[in-house]
């Protein structure tokens, strides 16, 4: 069936991606979702330090420290570069396909619950879908953009944004106020004018500011004023700090759509001010604690 390969090609052309030429065997696996024979791929027993990239578009997919020997006959990884790999259940419901988030190239399948590593995850990848860059060789940098969101306790806001497809990095901090290098205690006492916020670095080839803003609005209550759940205070107000006119306009359009749906949105749209990273113990808080937010939940609003 040629519909999916044709769609992938059209999407890549629309995004103006530079795609590498493929051999007929590479096309069979990468575009037509085939599988190479087990124990034959060049990266099955490959354990050099470096990064594994998508053969079709060059995007970094896996780091060598995530690779392990599963004995299955194909390269196995228990983690991916954040936002680089998409998961899609197969039509038969038995397996979950993994593809490059940037160009849609077929990589293999992901399996959970096998207990092979502490992360309990196995990305079973075709060697033919990958290229490798040694650790001491300079790798091409992925393009990135930033966005800044505030919506209550920054632990909860970061929890939902950090694993969104296309997100490369998040950090929590303080912004919107007048004090340089504020501390958590100062912000909590209301001495700084700052709010708790999250700075998001993302790949614009994979996601967009609009997609992240929609997720932001759907993972906190934008109608609450100076609070979020049980947390109260000006530092918990809802705000989007735009870094350019396009972000400002997109945020305003989304707020208008919510108001048309009957939401009394209290989220402000403000020009970005200096962002001051919070103390280290706040960074990736729920990821470290292996728990979930107490005042942020997902609710579809769009």
pLDDT at 10: 40
User: Average pLDDT in the 34-53 region?
Assistant: 94
**Binning pLDDT at 50, 70 and 90, where does residue 138 land?**
low
Given CA atoms 297, 300, 301, 302 in this order, what sign does their dihedral have? positive
Catalytic residue status for 124: yes
> What would you measure as the largest C-alpha separation in the chain, in angstroms?
65
pLDDT at 110: 97
Does one domain contain both 277 and 210?
yes
Calpha distance 4→258 (Å, rounded): 34
Calpha distance 296→215 (Å, rounded): 12
Domain final residue, candidates 99, 134, 169: 134
Calpha distance 295→109 (Å, rounded): 34
Which of 115, 34, 4, 20 lies closest to 68 in space, CA to CA?
115
Least confident of 46-50, 81-85, 130-134: 81-85
**Binning pLDDT at 50, 70 and 90, where does residue 16 land?**
very low
Domain final residue, candidates 134, 156, 188: 134
pLDDT at 294: 86
pLDDT at 289: 86
Residue 302 lies in a domain: no
Q: Which residues of 92-131 are buried (b: 16+ CB within 10 A; e: fewer)?
A: eeeeebbbbbbbbbbbbbbbeeeebeeeebbbbbbbbbbe
Point out the catalytic residue in the list 12, 57, 100, 153: 153
Calpha distance 44→83 (Å, rounded): 24
Whether the per-residue pLDDT at 144 is higher than 90: the answer is no
Does one domain contain both 59 and 79?
yes
Which of 129, 195, 204, 110 lies closest to 165 in space, CA to CA?
204
Point out the catalytic residue in the list 57, 124, 188, 295: 124
Does one domain contain both 161 and 258?
yes
Strand arrangement, sheet containing 195-202: 268-271, 238-242, 145-151, 195-202, 167-175, 276-277
Does one domain contain both 189 and 167?
yes
Tell me the backbone φ, ψ of residue 197, rounded to 5 degrees.
-140, 170
pLDDT at 141: 56
**Partners of residue 271 on adjacent β-strands:** 242
Between residues 217 and 81, the one the model is more confident about = 217
Burial of 69 (0-12, 13-18, 19+ CB in 10 A): exposed
pLDDT at 5: 42
**Binning pLDDT at 50, 70 and 90, where does residue 290 land?**
confident
Does one domain contain both 191 and 110?
no
Residue 27 sits in a domain of what CATH number?
Answer: 2.170.150.20
Which of 122, 87, 90, 85 lies closest to 100 in space, CA to CA?
85
Average pLDDT, the chain: 90
Q: What ranges make up the beta strands (E) of 135-187? A: 145-151, 167-175
pLDDT at 140: 54
Catalytic residue status for 12: no
Does one domain contain both 151 and 89?
no
Which of 203, 10, 5 lies closest to 101 in space, CA to CA?
203
Tens of pLDDT, residue by residue over 254-288, are: 999 999 999 999 999 999 999 999 999 999 999 88
Q: Looking at the 3D structure of the chain, how many domains does it have?
A: 2
pLDDT at 137: 66
User: Average pLDDT in the 115-138 region?
Assistant: 91
**Binning pLDDT at 50, 70 and 90, where does residue 17 land?**
low
Residue 258 lies in a domain: yes
């Amino acid at each position: 069936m040629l519909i999916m390969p044709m769609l992938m090609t059209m999407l890549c052309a629309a995004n103006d991606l530079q795609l590498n030429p493929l051999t007929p065997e590479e096309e069979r696996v990468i575009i037509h979702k085939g599988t190479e024979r087990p124990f034959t791929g060049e990266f099955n027993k490959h354990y050099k330090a470096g990064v594994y990239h998508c053969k079709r578009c060059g995007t970094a997919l896996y780091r060598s420290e995530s690779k392990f020997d599963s004995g299955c006959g194909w390269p196995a990884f228990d983690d991916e570069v954040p936002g680089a790999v998409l998961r899609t259940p197969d039509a038969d419901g038995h397996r979950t396909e993994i593809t490059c988030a940037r160009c849609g190239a077929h990589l293999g399948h992901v399996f959970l619950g096998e207990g092979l590593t502490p992360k309990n995850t196995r990305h079973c990848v075709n060697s033919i879908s990958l290229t490798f860059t040694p650790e001491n060789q300079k790798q091409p940098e992925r393009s990135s953009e930033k966005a800044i969101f505030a919506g209550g306790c920054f632990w909860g806001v970061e929890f939902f944004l950090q694993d969104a497809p296309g997100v490369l990095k998040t950090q929590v901090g303080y912004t919107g106020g007048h004090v340089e290098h504020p501390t958590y205690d100062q912000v909590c006492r209301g001495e700084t004018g700052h709010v708790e916020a999250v700075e998001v670095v993302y790949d614009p080839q994979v996601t967009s500011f609009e997609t992240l803003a929609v997720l932001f609005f759907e993972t906190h209550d934008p109608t609450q004023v100076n609070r979020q759940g049980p947390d109260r205070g000006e530092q918990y107000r809802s705000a989007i700090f735009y870094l350019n006119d396009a972000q400002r306009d997109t945020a305003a359009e989304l707020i208008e759509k919510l108001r048309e749906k009957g939401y009394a949105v209290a989220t402000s749209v403000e020009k970005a001010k200096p962002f001051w990273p919070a103390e280290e113990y706040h960074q990736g808080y729920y990821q470290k604690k292996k728990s979930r937010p107490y005042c942020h939940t997902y609710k579809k609003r769009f």
